[in-house]
Structure 1
Amino acid sequence: MFERFSAAAREVVTGAQQEARALGHERIGTEHLVLAALRHPRQPGTTTLRGLGVTAEACRTAVAAVVTGRDAALDAEDARALRSLGVDLEAVRGRAEEAFGPGALDSPQTPAPAPSTRRRTPFGRRRGTGSGPATLPRHLPFTAGAKKALELSLRECLARKDRRIGVEHLVLGLLRCADRTSLALFERLGVDPAAAHARVLDELRHTA
């Protein structure tokens, strides 16, 4: 499916991996795709989000509030369910950090690799004195929600009879994705996904 993506849409997908790495997350979720889409403020779909007041800064703040740890997301429904059982998540986290230090409940950090003595070739690959393979960064897997959003972007493209999957289709797919992280993220951003989806389509019709 990736070959059907426009150049800008490909940059969003690869940028999502960069966003996940920068945040120290071990999987690429819908939140990282949204952050990567916001890197392209003039692309259709992203312009709609920005018109709704969604900025990269606001999105990062919302992601920090929604995502706890490295790859676990808790939305308001999760928190209510825990409280109904007499569990105050923030109190538990606070006590754990008092006893064991900040981030005590986060997933363990992956040890950083030892500095490489290999030097880079003009093409970015590392070359050393030995015959071993160059060390490449591990590809981060997509969450089920992110995979669903990409699938929905293809459906949006087909529904509009467009030839390529663009950033607008990715945004439409993200707005239709009903995973907990997406719903919690858009709620934090004050965005109604259904209304925003309709607005993107309306703006696309007016610019066609």
Structure 2
Amino acid sequence: MFERFSRPARDAVVQARHEAQSLGHKHLGTEHLLLALAWQPGGAHDALVAAGLTRERIAAALTGAGVLGSADADALKTVGIDLDAVLSRITETFGSDALRRAMPAGRRGRVGVSPRVKKVLGLALREAVHLGSNTIGTEHVLLGILRDGHGRAAKIITDVGVSPDALRQALLDGLGRAA
């Protein structure tokens, strides 16, 4: 199936693996795909940015989840500390990759592909076929994430207040198609 991917879509998958590895994650997940799709202008990137999902915003959501879990955030909130505000301030002050740079290099290693990513890439193929495309582009990968509707990428999209249906429609409009 990978041979049907456009060059930008292949680059996004490679970038997603790099993102997972640099974050010290053992599996490439949909969240890494989402971050990689926001990396390269055109296609999915443009729809994400138009919806307010910049690379920095996605990275902040990812690094925050990687550093502390939701239970930690809830515990901090009880003593008056807003983890999202702290992570946002770290990003503003030190850059979007500050937490990644602070991670020990020993946590970085081989990265496997999660079953959900395999499913999303299969859905991307279905989206491309359904839309009459001979290749799988970055738009189709994002459509696969949206069609699946589960996983960390879908959660990031909804947590920042972006409607998956509106994002899907923007992608389809960008492809010159109606829903």
Interval containing the TM-score (normalised by the shorter chain): 0.7 to 0.9
**1:64 CA drift (Å):** 2.6
Aligned to 1:5: 5
Alignment of 1:128-139 (within 5 A): 139=110
Structure 2: 5+ residue stretches without partners:
77-102
Q: Does 1:182 align with 2:161?
A: no
Q: Does 1:158 align with 2:158?
A: no
What amino acid sits opposite 2:26 in the alignment?
A: E
What amino acid sits opposite 2:172 in the alignment?
A: L
**Residues 111 and 195 (structure 1), Cα distance of their counterparts in 2 relative to 1, 3 Å cut:** closer
User: What does the per-residue CA deviation read over 1:45-94, in whole Å, with 9 as the maximum and x for residues that have no partner?
Assistant: 2211111111111011112334467xxxx7xxxx6xxxxxxxxx228987
**Residues 67 and 110 (structure 1), Cα distance of their counterparts in 2 relative to 1, 3 Å cut:** closer
**1:139 CA drift (Å):** 4.4
Instruction: Note if contact 2:145-2:154 (Cα within 8 Å) is conserved in structure 1.
Output: no
Aligned to 1:26: 26
Partner SS state of residue 15, structure 1: helix
Instruction: Tell me the distance in 2 between the aligned counterparts of 1:60 and 1:138.
Output: 20
Instruction: Note if contact 1:12-1:36 (Cα within 8 Å) is conserved in structure 2.
Output: yes
Instruction: Note if contact 1:149-1:174 (Cα within 8 Å) is conserved in structure 2.
Output: yes
User: What does the per-residue CA deviation read over 1:88-134, in whole Å, with 9 as the maximum and x for residues that have no partner?
Assistant: x228987xxxxxxxxxxxxxx99849xxxxxxxxxxxxxxxxxxxxx
Partner SS state of residue 50, structure 1: helix
Instruction: Tell me the distance in 2 between the aligned counterparts of 1:20 and 1:32.
Output: 6
Instruction: Tell me the distance in 1 between the aligned counterparts of 2:66 and 2:105.
Output: 22
Aligned to 1:52: 51
What amino acid sits opposite 1:28 in the alignment?
A: L
State the aligned residue count: 151
Over the aligned positions, Cα root-mean-square deviation in angstroms equals 2.7
Instruction: Tell me the distance in 1 between the aligned counterparts of 2:73 and 2:43.
Output: 42
Instruction: Tell me the distance in 1 between the aligned counterparts of 2:36 and 2:73.
Output: 33
Aligned to 1:126: none
TM-score by length of 2: 0.73
Instruction: Note if contact 2:34-2:153 (Cα within 8 Å) is conserved in structure 1.
Output: no
Structure 1: 5+ residue stretches without partners:
80-88, 95-108, 114-136
